[in-house]
Chain A
Amino acid sequence: QSALTQPASVSGSPGQSIAISCTGTSSDVGGYNYVSWYQQHPGKAPKLMIYDVNNRPSGVSNRFSGSKSGNTASLTISGLQAEDEADYYCSSHTSTNTLVFGGGTKLTVL
């Protein structure tokens, strides 16, 4: 049950695009199309942004998109806005029917 690997921080200027990676193993990210991404602002509960690798819940901006290649999933945010500054976490279903999160990535909008 090792955490998925995410970069500790990423940054970008308003209007730019950024990508956050999430690396696991064949027992989690690589083995299933059940990767989700969450946004968390300070002091708030996490919010689901992407599920099943590349699907957006109703109400989430289409500036957020997801993808996966092998054991690595990615979240891309295009047209960066100030309100996108937050912590982002990935999660994946695992071969033991548990859930594992990534360590989290702090996004700074310059």
Chain B
Amino acid sequence: EVQLVESGGGLVQVGGSLRLSCAASGFTFSGYWMSWVRQAPGKGLEWVAHIKTGGSENYYVDSVKGRFTISRDDGKKSLFLQMNSLRAEDTAVYYCARYGNWGREDYWGQGTLVTVSS
């Protein structure tokens, strides 16, 4: 059974940093691209970033470029999102997702809440 478990969310001040983690199990982690998707309170889904197998290529939504970094540790079957220079508009539930193929997030974690407060 595919399982994705996020951690690391919490309350942080504007301008601060936070590192999210996602522990994967039930599939060959190294064989899949992985993603972060967020959802602001009461709003829709927004794709944030994804990382290629092996970590050689990363892609980001424009609003987080230069502030967020996605990375992975295939040995630990873990995905990370380093978030710097946080803004109030980054407040959201952040989901870890398996990027099954182009255009498809086929498995999702339960999410971790990040609250950026001034």
Mark A residues whose CB is within 8 Å of B.
Answer: 1, 3, 32, 34-36, 38, 40, 45-48, 51-52, 57, 87, 89, 91-93, 96-104
Given contacts A35-B103, A57-B106, contact A45 B111 (CB under 8 A): yes
- The A-B contact count (CB < 8 A) is 77
Is A100 a contact partner of B45 (Cβ separation < 8 A)? no
Is B47 a contact partner of A45 (Cβ separation < 8 A)? no
Mark B residues whose CB is within 8 Å of A.
Answer: 35, 37, 44-47, 50, 57, 59-62, 95, 99-111
Given contacts A45-B108, A92-B103, contact A98 B95 (CB under 8 A): no
Partner of B109, one of A45, A47, A92: A45
Query: Using Cβ atoms and an 8 Å threshold, which residues of chain A touch B108?
Result: 45-47
Is B44 a contact partner of A3 (Cβ separation < 8 A)? yes
- Chief secondary structure at chain B's binding surface: strand
Is A46 a contact partner of B105 (Cβ separation < 8 A)? yes
Task: Tell me the complex Cα distance, A80–B57, Å.
Answer: 42
Task: Tell me the complex Cα distance, A97–B10, Å.
Answer: 30
